[in-house]
Amino acid sequence: MTTANPFAKRSTLEYELPPFALITDEHYLPAFYEGCTQQLVEVQEILNTPGDATFENTIVALEKSGQMLKRVLRVFFNKSSSDTSDSLDAIEEELAPKLAAHQDAIQLNPVLFNRIKSLYENRESSGLNTEDAWLLERYYKDLVHSGAHLSESERERLKQLNEELSKLSTQFAKNVLTDTNDLAVLVESIEELDGLSENEIATAAAAAKERGHEGKWLIAMVNFSGNPLLSSLTNRSLRKKIMQESLVKANRKNESDNKPILLKLVQLRAERAKLFGNNTHAEHVIAVQTAEHPDNVNAMLRKIAPAAVRNAKVEAEDLKKSAGADIESWDWGFYTEQVRLEKYNIDTSKMRPYFELESVLEKGIFFAANKLFGISFKERPDLITYHPEARAFDVFNEDGSKLGLFIGDFYTRDSKRGGAWMNSLVNQNFLFNQLPVVVNNLNIAKPPAGKPTLLTFDQITTLFHEFGHTLHGLLSQVKYPRVSGTSVQRDFVEFPSQVNEMWILWPEVVENYARHFETGEKLPQEWIDNLNAASTFNEGHATTSYLAAAILDLAWHSLTVEEAAKVSDVEAFETQAIKDYGLDFSPVPTRYRSTYFSHIFAGGYSAGYYGYIWSEVLDADTVDWFKENGGLQRKNGEHFRNTLLGRGGSIDSMQMFRNFRGRDSKIEPLLKRRGLL
């Protein structure tokens, strides 16, 4: 580590954008180790502070500690998820267990815990304001949740578990990416691609050429079960092959087989939960979420599951009539489009020319954000980001002052993990006077040079959704980095992003962005009306597929130590768990099977995938509020911003919702939206 390392000091670029032009792979590990050393010294200085612990000399000092480490980690994990390489994979394998050990050295320090505990126990007489009091509570409860209160021998075992779990999660993610790339389907003749658009065929040809198969076509796998192209391909055998390959990701007897890894993860998580005095990992995780206990989650999901499956079976009968035969999972998307056309006169393939990426982004997403919050965007091609395809945009307040920087990285590539997500390179906070730098990653197939990027309706939904997370990060107005932006409880974090989806078909918004890329013609109003009329169409399938994944997550993480040790057959466990919930319906596979369920085995959603529908209860109720109050208006945006989005995680999540809505949430709007009443 030298002073020439780009991570050695705060960036002097606009918004403190990391100096990507200078950063190379060789900079990460030296900066990581130096960052760890610096933070441990800073924490020791806190412990050596004479006199009693105070909020300023302990909590604020902790907020200020580890700045170099945080800089390098934000950049590294952003890069490794969106543009990895063998070199970065090797760095992550070394870094992950060391990071777990470093975090444990701080979080499990008994002297530090006692300082914070004394502050927490005397909080009522400390005169702290609301935000400071909440930050103190978060620090104390996070340390307890991390095991700081355990005995010395228990803490030592916990450190071992955390280190091993970090290694396993890193390997799990690597295996998913490797096998997802390996399972791409190579197509020999263009006739097999009947049903795809000219643009989709050209994209498949470009993907094949990139892998050295010029004159052929490559259909890449996606991170979830199935593939968007299944709704268009007329070749049933090709559809079947794509679906079957999709369902075996990281579940083949090769080096990328994740079955032994996930079994070990489940066992070690159960053991760790027992250390904390909990029966299961799910109990431990959900205790600090808004749901509070797995029983509350299961109670809600069991209300929804029977209606979801019932609706899916009714939908299957409709598809069977159209197909003239029983429906398999690889048929569902294709015949759904046929029935959608028959029932609602909706042909989604004909809509794609109206959904061009640049128009959706600038005249849809940015337009809605401007109308609601008064913010505006200007592209900055002069700013160097972590990849040539990652585009930067200035974000301005209504008065012209800078709000932050948005980076959009929309296209898929072999070096990018699947799915879509938001993360931050700089967290908004007043402590260091930093503006937010927020990144959105998607996985849209890149068309050949000179061709437009035409989106599906599902991709538009994803774009609006992820930008909802971006708004949560950009509009944050908090003092401390620890509670900035999306730093809220896991089962609350999806709520603002889901709310942002409501503007997709809002008349003023859709009229502005949904224009034919060649003629400029508006998307016909009849088509928009039909889309609205079909809002609950296929929701049985969507809800059943999602719920199967959510309960699969809960099933794995509701095992005790003894139960986890007895599970040896991953597929049998998976099948039984879904069957026990009444969600076993073969034409509708779970959205994620266990071996490629990166959300829960390589991400932060273990025992938390239920959070999407848990948050949707709040989302549906909030959408009703917007509609009742006039929709896309600045006064509504300001209320949402001031009471909720701008508060980050600086107060209790559910109290934020009550401050916004004026009452607790109701489940009926969700049931109505999904056609489950």
Q: What is the pLDDT of residues 355-385, one digit of tens each?
A: 999 999 999 999 999 999 999 999 999 999 9
pLDDT surpassing 90 at residue 468: yes
Q: Is residue 160 part of a domain?
A: no
Sign of the dihedral defined by the CA atoms of residues 587, 591, 595, 596, in that order: positive
Q: Which one of 609, 624, 641 terminates a domain? A: 609
> Average pLDDT, stretch 606-614?
97
Q: What is the pLDDT of residues 15-37, one digit of tens each?
A: 999 999 999 999 999 999 999 99
Q: What is the pLDDT of residues 577-600, one digit of tens each?
A: 999 999 999 999 999 999 999 999
Residue 209 one-letter amino acid: K
Instruction: Look at the block and give the residue holding tokens 């409860």.
Output: 141
Helix (H, G, I), strand (E, B) or coil at 327: coil
Q: Is residue 641 part of a domain?
A: no
Q: What is the pLDDT of residues 507-530, one digit of tens each?
A: 999 999 999 999 999 999 999 999
Please check whether residues 499 and 541 belong to one and the same domain.
no
Instruction: Look at the block and give the residue holding tokens 């932006």.
Output: 485
Is 612 within 8 Å of 648 (Cβ atoms)? no
Q: Is residue 45 part of a domain?
A: yes
**Does residue 466 have an active-site annotation?**
yes
Taking the C-alpha atoms of residue 348 and residue 274, their distance in angstroms, rounded to an integer, is 50
Taking the C-alpha atoms of residue 466 and residue 35, their distance in angstroms, rounded to an integer, is 31
Taking the C-alpha atoms of residue 183 and residue 245, their distance in angstroms, rounded to an integer, is 6
> Average pLDDT, stretch 461-484?
98
Q: Which one of 246, 275, 291 terminates a domain? A: 246
Please check whether residues 495 and 387 belong to one and the same domain.
yes
pLDDT at 1: 87
Out of 16, 337, 466, 501, the active site residue is 466
Instruction: Output the pTM of the full model.
Output: 0.92
Taking the C-alpha atoms of residue 655 and residue 643, their distance in angstroms, rounded to an integer, is 10
pLDDT surpassing 90 at residue 677: no
The 10 Å Cβ neighbour count of residue 181 is 15
Taking the C-alpha atoms of residue 290 and residue 654, their distance in angstroms, rounded to an integer, is 7
Kindly state the tokens that stand for 411. Answer: 């296209």
Taking the C-alpha atoms of residue 90 and residue 81, their distance in angstroms, rounded to an integer, is 13
Task: Give 218's pLDDT tier (boundaries 50, 70, 90).
Answer: very high
Number of H helices, E strands in the chain: 28, 7
Please check whether residues 122 and 22 belong to one and the same domain.
yes
pLDDT at 676: 86
- Of 184, 105, 165, 113, nearest to 418 (Cα)? 184
Residues facing residue 379 across a β-bridge = 393
Is 242 within 8 Å of 330 (Cβ atoms)? yes
Taking the C-alpha atoms of residue 269 and residue 517, their distance in angstroms, rounded to an integer, is 51
CA-based end-to-end distance of the chain: 61
Please check whether residues 386 and 529 belong to one and the same domain.
yes
Contacts of 472 (CB under 8 A, 6+ apart): 485, 486, 493, 496, 497, 645, 648
Exposure string over 646-675, b if 16+ CB within 10 A, otherwise e: bbbbbbbbeebbeebbeeebeeebbbebbb
Counting every residue, how long is the chain?
Answer: 677
Is 23 within 8 Å of 75 (Cβ atoms)? yes
Q: What is the CATH number of the domain that holds 601?
A: 1.10.1370.10
Is 494 within 8 Å of 525 (Cβ atoms)? no
The 10 Å Cβ neighbour count of residue 44 is 12
Q: Is residue 674 part of a domain?
A: no
Residue 215, classified by CB atoms within 10 Å of its CB into exposed (0-12), middle (13-18) or buried (19+), is exposed
Contacts of 624 (CB under 8 A, 6+ apart): 669
Please check whether residues 117 and 133 belong to one and the same domain.
yes
Q: Is residue 393 part of a domain?
A: yes
pLDDT at 349: 87
Q: What is the CATH number of the domain that holds 92?
A: 1.20.1050.40
Is 220 within 8 Å of 207 (Cβ atoms)? yes
Please check whether residues 406 and 447 belong to one and the same domain.
yes
Q: Rounded to whole angstroms, what are the CA distances from 420 to 18, 77, 220?
A: 22, 15, 16
pLDDT surpassing 90 at residue 331: yes
Please check whether residues 372 and 487 belong to one and the same domain.
yes
Please check whether residues 392 and 503 belong to one and the same domain.
yes
Q: Is residue 325 part of a domain?
A: yes
Q: Is residue 632 part of a domain?
A: no
Q: What is the CATH number of the domain that holds 417?
A: 1.10.1370.40
Kindly state the tokens that stand for 219. Answer: 């259909």
Q: Rounded to whole angstroms, what are the CA distances from 311 to 415, 544, 588, 612?
A: 38, 9, 12, 20
Q: Is residue 253 part of a domain?
A: no
pLDDT at 266: 98
pLDDT surpassing 90 at residue 465: yes
Taking the C-alpha atoms of residue 263 and residue 281, their distance in angstroms, rounded to an integer, is 14
Kindly state the tokens that stand for 322. Answer: 């159209």
Please check whether residues 275 and 339 belong to one and the same domain.
yes
Residue 228, domain extent = 183-246
Phi-psi category of residue 277: left, alpha or beta, with phi > 0 → left and psi -120 to 50 → alpha: left
Please check whether residues 72 and 143 belong to one and the same domain.
yes
pLDDT surpassing 90 at residue 637: yes
Kindly state the tokens that stand for 220. Answer: 């890449």
Q: Which one of 609, 627, 643 terminates a domain? A: 609
Count how many Cα atoms sit within 13 Å of the Cα of residue 638 in the half-sphere of its side chain. Answer: 6
What is the average pLDDT value for the chain, to the nearest integer? 97
Cα angle at 423 between 611 and 247, to 5 degrees?
55
Domain count within the chain: 4
Please check whether residues 372 and 505 belong to one and the same domain.
yes
Please check whether residues 322 and 372 belong to one and the same domain.
no
